[in-house]
A and B are shown apart, each in its own frame.
Chain A
Amino acid sequence: MDISPTTAPPPPEQAERASATRMGDRIFLGLSKGSGITLLVVMAAIAAFLAWRTIGVLPENEGNFLTTFEWNANATPPVFGIAVLAFGTVVSSIIAMAIAVPIAVGIALFISHYAPRKIAAPMAYIIDLLAAVPSIIYGLWGALFLVPHLTGLYTWLDQFFGWTGIFSYDGGAPRSLFTVGILLAIMILPIVTNVSREVFKQSPKMQEEAALALGATRWEVIRMSVLPFGRSGVISAAMLGLGRALGETMAVATVLSPSLIIKESLLDPGGATFAQNIAAAFKEAGPIGRDALIASGLVLFVLTLLVNGAARMIIARRKEYSGANA
């Protein structure tokens, strides 16, 4: 009878330990619940502040907040609209994603599956370092190095794709939404790469080895086992990157030649983004101007929420592939 009967009272020190554990559990539960609630409260507070100021200023607007191109919120009467800002933000982020995601996935695959360990570790480290560079440094680099060196690429694009209209270029400093997109792509590269790499590393070894045993090449292993497994992870990684690209301020403000006009060509200087416009217009803004900028901030806030929501939906729909069920 080594196993004690259930009816017997537990020895005193055991009871103490059990209640201590229960106490620890309760504290931990309280802490984690508290943290979760704090997050919701902070988000709600931001949303409420933005919404409150927005409701206050919208009736003052002489233009249509959603469709007006002009941003002249300090004038009397104030006129402001987010059409150009929304266009610039979305377009530059899409360009950034189109460039960054394939490259990031490539780097992640290389580090996790191709590179010898001697190269993979320093490379991962360098990618990590890219994330630590402040955005103003990217801005300076972009303005002083990237912009002067893009003329060649722009001329080439104009020569071969100029007929599409969106890639026509007529000389001039290339401080356009396309340049912003390139710079943003470099900026979001580390986060997309890192998350993708982690996901690829988690892909089930057994499946990979089984595929190899069946005679698959390494590319086939990646295509059939690693990529389907990592898809939802890559999508979340991309969305994290997109989140950064949507809200990037200083780098965009430094590189772009802002104007409140939507240009037909992506290579023409002009356009503006939410965050860039807030940074540029804030210092000379009067009370209405400031609230108008806050209203535009609310739109960016909602836009970011929508993007994240969409990402969640995509991930949920592809759950069957994800690592959770593997």
Chain B
Amino acid sequence: MKLHRTNRLRTLSVGALAVTSALVLSACGTDENTGNGGGKTDAASNINCEGKGNLLASGSSAQKNAMDVWVQKYQQACKETQVNYKATGSGAGIQEFLQGKTAFAGSDSALKEDEIKDSQKVCKGGGKGINLPMVGGPVAVGYNLSGVDDLVLDAPTLAKIFDSKITKWDDTAIKKLNPDTKLPSTKIQAFHRSDESGTTDNFTDYLNTAAPDDWKYEASKAWKGKGGQSADGSSGVASNVKQTDGAIGYFELSYATGSDLNTVKLDTGASKPVEATVENSSAAIGAGKIVGKEGDLAMELDYATKAEGAYPIVLVTYEIVCDKGNKADTLEATKSFLTYAASEDGQKALEDIDYAPMPEEIITQVRETVAKIS
């Protein structure tokens, strides 16, 4: 009996994969077409190509897909610059930047005090490293529970689930939030990241801020909760959730859409539960504020926001450059690439791949700062 079920599940998942890949492929196709019809020339004219040669950057894997799109569009316009972004992870990215190996770094968390101090060695002439928030992303909580397509959870419940204090799907706490849903008594299998990650940092920061009584651990890149299963990378977590009935895990929204997983709607205290969407997370980023000083645009997010339609588990990833004293041979290209990334076109390109554009008042400041880089 069991064998039958797994077989059927497998057939289903293969079918789902085929359908999604077909959709994704056709989506790519239409994109290309509109691009050729006029968007392309448009984009080309909006990108200001300056500088040439090899532009090296590395860092956060969370913004890899965004970078891929930017790089592709940028290179279409600027043939003389090769942009090369290696998704080595935020830590390694900052490291390489501080060693002067790259022109800029991508990172899920802003530079720390001592890293800013270190950056003065690379940034010549009294410059220092600054954070430019460029990409936002909703961290979706995806689940796989047969028969349930609509699930509302709140921060305390999520905290208890991920800390193995709630172990069955028909727990009263979950039932109370979903009065109209028939919940099975399946065992909850909570998946978290096994590697250190900015996604974990943001997710636990959210749990710690929005449900301090139920999530006692401090926010950190390494997972500190009890129990549950773990997997490497967002893709690992998503594929394990996909495979396991009764599983729940957290990852960037693009992985949820990519694997066709249902995502949890959050009861934040707003009048309606909020879904993990690009718009909703842009709204939540807008509820945060910039805390960096002297040109630094490091942000502090308001994870406990109750604003209508604001999805609070969001990840903001930064590009890290020197405000002054960038290397002369890559300065022009860096500036031109970042200008494009922060431009209206660059930010708009994010929506198609499930990343959130920065809210207007923040991206304006980023544009101003990028213009001043020297």
Interface residues of A, Cβ cutoff 8 Å to B: 71-72, 74-75, 148, 170-173, 175, 253-254, 257-259, 261, 269, 280-281, 283-287, 289
Knowing A284-B196, A284-B221, say if A173 contacts B91 (CB, 8 Å).
no
What 7 A-B pairs come out closest when comparing CB atoms? Answer: A283-B89, A284-B196, A284-B91, A257-B229, A258-B194, A284-B89, A269-B229
- Nearest B residue to A258 via CB reads B194
The reply to whether A281 and B196 form a contact with Cβ atoms under 8 Å apart is yes
Knowing A74-B196, A286-B91, A286-B95, say if A280 contacts B232 (CB, 8 Å).
yes
Q: Report A-chain residues with C-beta under 8 Å of the C-beta of B220.
A: 72, 75
The reply to whether B222 and A72 form a contact with Cβ atoms under 8 Å apart is yes
- Nearest B residue to A149 via CB reads B6
Q: Report B-chain residues with C-beta under 8 Å of the C-beta of A258.
A: 194, 230
Knowing A75-B220, A258-B194, say if A170 contacts B95 (CB, 8 Å).
no
Q: Does B101 contact A (CB under 8 A)?
A: no
Q: Interface residues of B toward A: which range? A: 20 to 34
Q: Which of B281-328 contact A (CB under 8 A)?
A: none
The reply to whether B229 and A175 form a contact with Cβ atoms under 8 Å apart is yes
The reply to whether A170 and B187 form a contact with Cβ atoms under 8 Å apart is yes
Interface pairs (27), CB distance under 8 Å: A72-B222, A74-B221, A75-B222, A148-B6, A172-B229, A172-B244, A173-B189, A173-B229, A173-B240, A173-B244, A253-B232, A257-B230, A257-B231, A259-B194, A261-B226, A269-B229, A269-B230, A280-B194, A281-B196, A283-B89, A283-B195, A284-B90, A284-B91, A284-B92, A284-B195, A285-B91, A285-B196
Q: Does B197 contact A (CB under 8 A)?
A: yes
Instruction: Give the distance in Å from the alpha carbon of A173 to the alpha carbon of B239 in the complex.
Output: 12
The reply to whether B189 and A287 form a contact with Cβ atoms under 8 Å apart is no
Q: Does B243 contact A (CB under 8 A)?
A: yes
Q: Which of B199-242 contact A (CB under 8 A)?
A: 220-223, 226, 228-232, 240
Instruction: Give the distance in Å from the alpha carbon of A289 to the alpha carbon of B89 in the complex.
Output: 14
Interface residues of B, Cβ cutoff 8 Å to A: 6, 88-92, 95, 187, 189, 194-197, 220-223, 226, 228-232, 240, 243-244
Interface on chain A toward B: helix, strand, loop, or mixed SS? loop
Q: Report A-chain residues with C-beta under 8 Å of the C-beta of B194.
A: 257-259, 280
Interface centre among A173, A175, A289 (most CB of B within 10 A): A173
Q: Report A-chain residues with C-beta under 8 Å of the C-beta of B228.
A: 259
Q: Report B-chain residues with C-beta under 8 Å of the C-beta of A148.
A: 6, 243
Q: How far is the CB of A41 from chain B (nearest CB, A)?
A: 29
Interface centre among B92, B229, B244 (most CB of A within 10 A): B229
The reply to whether A280 and B240 form a contact with Cβ atoms under 8 Å apart is no
Instruction: Give the distance in Å from the alpha carbon of A75 to the alpha carbon of B229 in the complex.
Output: 23
| From A71, A72, A173, A257, contact of B243 by CB (8 A) | A173
Knowing A72-B222, A170-B187, A259-B230, say if A283 contacts B240 (CB, 8 Å).
no
Instruction: Give the distance in Å from the alpha carbon of A283 to the alpha carbon of B60 in the complex.
Output: 10
Instruction: Give the distance in Å from the alpha carbon of A281 to the alpha carbon of B187 in the complex.
Output: 29
Known: A173-B243, A285-B91. 13 other contacts (CB 8 A): A172-B187, A172-B229, A173-B189, A173-B229, A173-B244, A175-B229, A258-B194, A259-B228, A261-B226, A280-B232, A283-B89, A283-B195, A286-B91
Q: Report A-chain residues with C-beta under 8 Å of the C-beta of B91.
A: 74, 283-286, 289
Instruction: Give the distance in Å from the alpha carbon of A228 to the alpha carbon of B243 in the complex.
Output: 48
Q: How far is the CB of A258 from chain B (nearest CB, A)?
A: 5
